[in-house]
Amino acid sequence: MNIDFSAEELAFQKEVREFLAAEFPADIRHKLANSIHMEKDDYVRWQKILAKKGWAANNWPEEHGGTGWSSTQKYIFSNELGAVGAPDVIPFGIKMVSPVIYTFGNEEQKKRFLPDTLASNIWWAQGYSETNAGSDLASLKTTAVREGDEYIVNGTKTWTTYAQHADWIFCLVRTGGPEVKNQNAISFLLIDIKTPGITVSPIYLLDGDPEVNEVHFDNVRVPAANLIGEEGKGWTYAKVLLTHERVSIAQVPQSKKYLKGLKETAAKTSDGGSDNTLSENQAWKQKVADLEIELLALEYTELRTLDAVSKGQAPGPETSILKIKGSEIQQTLNELDVELAGYYSLPFVRDQYTADFDGVAIGPGQATASAPRYFNNRKASIFGGSNEVQLNIICKAVLGL
């Protein structure tokens, strides 16, 4: 693989840098740099800026509003976003449900949902997991019974990220009876979350943030026109969606920036009362070196996947490798973060991380946010399919075992 940039690619890199310098909002940059809570409007405003530039959906085909970028351009763009700390798009709409819609949906569905999703006029939520159907997703119980031109939906989805912000939710629902094999009894429905009978109940995390929710469906009437593709084929469509999700979970540029910040802080931090900094500590240096090697290997694996996608191939089971290693690296970074913060990782004052906080900060914002980041990111090895399940996929689909 040739990773040297051509003159055209260097010009593109320069264009991206100039765009980010001019258009990435200073207030959002400040929030992210100081671990201040991001609001829905912050994400939407930034995504609309990207959409106006035509850069919001670099994974879409050009005919639907995609960029037509090469794998190298996608690599450059994601790395430049990571370098300045700019957030990627919220994945549920642009990166997850949209590929399902433009691949398996009908023309009416494409016209209805793709332009508004691209413009961030629709905030999507993902209705997959249930109380007893997480890693074993095929055992989901939420039902959709056909009555004329509608489906009647009953059940509960859980761990639904940002459902409190959502306009629509895409759901896996059971349309087949108990006599049908689980994987052949599941369908893919698009549901307006404001439909009568839907209740969103927040699940408050340790930091007090309702990042995830339960979504309850009580005799919810959904137009049959909102069914994607064929009834009973939802499991097939879901697998396509999950491969796209697992690519985004790798988060190589974000991890590179995170590690760079930790190294810079370690160079200013005393090593337990000695005259040396922590960056000169041999044990610390070994941990950082090991992580840098893992991150470089992950980056090359991601590049190979991007190269395959650029040649018209869909992300395959090798994305499970990206998911496993990406989440493991992120969690190792969290552990180094807490180690570096030391006793500053102990206090947590939620108000300190709000935009209107005017009190006295308890320690540096990044340091005191290290423990919440650590605990919140334990989920990285579970969402998108638990790492244990991904190992099974690799054994069967990649290694042929």
CATH number of the domain that 63 lies in? 1.10.540.10
| Residue 197 within any structural domain of the chain | yes
Which residues are bridge partners to 132 per DSSP? none
Question: Do residue 47 and residue 150 come from a single domain?
Answer: no
Place of tokens 């030391």: 342
Closest CA to 128 of 228, 246, 242, 229: 242
Residue 211 CA from chain centroid, whole number: 13
| Distance between CA atoms of residues 378 and 328, nearest Å | 10
Place of tokens 């064929």: 230
Type of residue numbered 70? S
- Give percent above pLDDT 70 in the chain: 91
**What pLDDT is recorded for position 314?**
59
**What pLDDT is recorded for position 37?**
85
Mean pLDDT, residues 215-222 taken together = 98
State the residue range of the domain holding 385: 250-398
For residue 38, give Cα distances in angstroms to 31, 158, 365: 7, 22, 15
Burial of 168 (0-12, 13-18, 19+ CB in 10 A): buried
Spatial neighbors of 316 by CB under 8 A, at least 6 apart, are 243, 305, 308, 397
**What pLDDT is recorded for position 144?**
97
CATH number (domain holding residue 195): 2.40.110.10
Question: Do residue 72 and residue 129 come from a single domain?
Answer: no
Q: Could you count the other beta carbons within 10 Å of the beta carbon of residue 216?
A: 17
pLDDT-based confidence at 342, cuts 50/70/90?
A: confident
Question: Do residue 225 and residue 305 come from a single domain?
Answer: no
Question: Do residue 255 and residue 199 come from a single domain?
Answer: no
Stretch among 154-158, 262-266, 273-277, 386-390 having the lowest mean pLDDT: 273-277
Mean pLDDT, residues 199-203 taken together = 97
Question: Do residue 387 and residue 280 come from a single domain?
Answer: yes
| Distance between CA atoms of residues 241 and 12, nearest Å | 29
| Residue 169 within any structural domain of the chain | yes
| Distance between CA atoms of residues 328 and 54, nearest Å | 33
| Distance between CA atoms of residues 105 and 229, nearest Å | 6
Query: Do 127 and 215 meet the contact criterion of CB atoms below 8 Å apart?
Result: yes
Closest CA to 137 of 145, 127, 129: 129
CATH number (domain holding residue 383): 1.20.140.10
Mean pLDDT, residues 332-336 taken together = 94
Q: Which helix (H) or strand (E) holds 335?
A: helix 319-341
Question: Do residue 217 and residue 259 come from a single domain?
Answer: no
**What pLDDT is recorded for position 106?**
97
| Residue 45 within any structural domain of the chain | yes
Question: Do residue 266 and residue 391 come from a single domain?
Answer: yes
pTM: 0.85
Count: domains in the chain: 3
Domain end (from 63, 89, 115): 89
Question: Do residue 394 and residue 254 come from a single domain?
Answer: yes
- Give percent above pLDDT 90 in the chain: 54
Question: Do residue 216 and residue 264 come from a single domain?
Answer: no
Mean pLDDT, residues 262-269 taken together = 87
| Residue 12 within any structural domain of the chain | yes
**CA end-to-end span of the chain, whole Å?**
28
**DSSP line for 253-288:** HHHHHHHHHHHHHHTTSBSTTSSSBGGG-HHHHHHH
Domain end (from 67, 89, 111): 89
Question: Do residue 74 and residue 211 come from a single domain?
Answer: no
| Residue 50 within any structural domain of the chain | yes
Closest CA to 319 of 239, 400, 377, 253: 239
Question: Do residue 26 and residue 75 come from a single domain?
Answer: yes
Q: Could you count the other beta carbons within 10 Å of the beta carbon of residue 311?
A: 8
| Residue 102 within any structural domain of the chain | no
pLDDT-based confidence at 315, cuts 50/70/90?
A: low
- In whole numbers, what is the pLDDT of the chain averaged over residues? 88
| Residue 115 within any structural domain of the chain | no
| Residue 99 within any structural domain of the chain | no
pLDDT-based confidence at 142, cuts 50/70/90?
A: very high
Domain end (from 70, 89, 108): 89
For residue 181, give Cα distances in angstroms to 131, 142, 151, 232, 238: 20, 15, 20, 10, 16
* DSSP 8-class letter at 164: G
HSE, side-chain direction, 13 A CA sphere, residue 24: 21
Is pLDDT of 360 > 60?
Answer: no
Which residues are bridge partners to 277 per DSSP? 270
Q: Which two tokens stand for residue 366?
A: 């990044």
Question: Do residue 325 and residue 375 come from a single domain?
Answer: yes
pLDDT-based confidence at 310, cuts 50/70/90?
A: low
